[in-house]
Amino acid sequence: MRWTPKTEGEPMYNEKMGKTWSNILDFNNKYFPNWRSVDEVYYSNALAGEVGELCNAVKHRAGGGTNKSRPSAHELAEECADIFIYMSMLLEKQGIDIMLFDDIINEKVEKNARRMESHNNGGK
């Protein structure tokens, strides 16, 4: 899906990703109604655990470890989905929704681009 403005002059966003974000929140509101009252340390630790699972799957795809199975690209994507789920929950606890997060991502990409331009120009 393309990034398109919803109305003229409105910031651009991805409706499909917004729906995904809402689905994550709806799922947690239904099955874990107190999730917003859980300490954010839980979400940061869960996030770290999921990143570890992704790293382990990538290691196995590269032939490392003792597990002889080679995780598929779909299995790697499922680990990334787990990361995204916990990340979205952590951000929501901070009052950051998908629209604000989109703005923050774009600001960060621009900041990184300026840093790279400066680096490529000898730090000038």
List the domain boundaries for the chain.
15-93, 96-124
Residue type, 116: M
Q: Would you say the pTM of this structure is higher than 0.85?
A: no
Q: Give the separation between CA 13 and CA 102, rounded to whole angstroms.
A: 7
pLDDT score of 3? 46
CA distance 27 to 25: 5
Residue-level pLDDT at 10? 57
Mean pLDDT by 10 residues, the chain (124 residues): 51 74 96 95 97 96 86 96 97 94 94 93 71
At position 56, the amino acid (one-letter code) is: N
**pLDDT reported for residue 9:** 58
- DSSP label at residue 1: -
